Homo-oligomer: A and B are copies of this chain.
Amino acid sequence: MVRPREFDEEQALDAAMRLFWEKGYEATSLSDLTSRMGIQRPSIYSAFGDKKELFESALRKYTKMHASQIRNKLQHNESVKEAFRSLFTGLVNDEYNQSPNKGCFCINTMVELAPHDEKFEILTREHQMYLSAIFQEALERAIHSGELTTNMNPKALAQTLVVSLIGLTVLLKSRPNRSFVDHSIETILTLLK
């Protein structure tokens, strides 16, 4: 190497991630990307490949970040029930306080690209499976500790919570009444007994 990069790759990728997250794949142009990433077009291609490859890198960065956030929220809480409650209500608060509503990058990609691109079908599926596994671990901990006394399969319960989280995240994009989502969350949480 003779001349060092003038930009920070991680920082540029982070900017791309936020843009794709906000606008999706098709609606984001290379011009949008160059201006938000603060670098020129050939720099993008040399550092990240073409638009699809950059998108994939951005999504991978997101899923790592997202999974770690969820893990933290589930671990840094005495009560597993309370952890799930604050996970759901936190999501609702976040989404109501931002405009436009970005939702979850992985879910957005599941809708936009997964049906037409197997790579993203797999990538998004694996993330949901991973979230489900994290949820399951937390539920099993709670059962073990006696906090949860359920006769339900923790795996099935975890899967249901993933489905509910997806449903809430998507529904929030239409900005329904708070009561709609609040009541839904309360009802879903009755499964944790």
Contact = CB atoms under 8 A, between A and B. Distances in A.
Interface residues of A, number: 52
Contacts of A191: 187, 190-191
Interface string A153-187: 10111011011111110110111100011011011
Contacts of A108: 111
A100 interface: yes
A26 interface: yes
A122 B100 CA distance: 14
Given A115-B102, A180-B132, A191-B191, A167 B175 contact: no
A130 to B, nearest CB: 12
Interface string A106-124: 0110111011100001101
Q: How many copies does the complex hold?
A: 2
10 closest A-B pairs by beta carbon, nearest first, are A167-B167, A125-B174, A26-B26, A163-B167, A156-B183, A100-B115, A166-B167, A160-B187, A111-B111, A101-B115
Contacts of A114: 101, 173-175
A156 B125 contact: no
Given A183-B153, A187-B191, A170 B107 contact: yes
Contacts of A111: 103, 107-108, 111-112, 170, 173
Contact of A166 (B101, B121, B129, B166): B166
A152 to B, nearest CB: 7
A9 B15 CA distance: 44
Nearest to A116: B100
A67 interface: no
A27 interface: yes
Among A121, A160, A188, A190, the most chain B Cβ lie within 10 Å of the Cβ of A160
Nearest to A23: B116
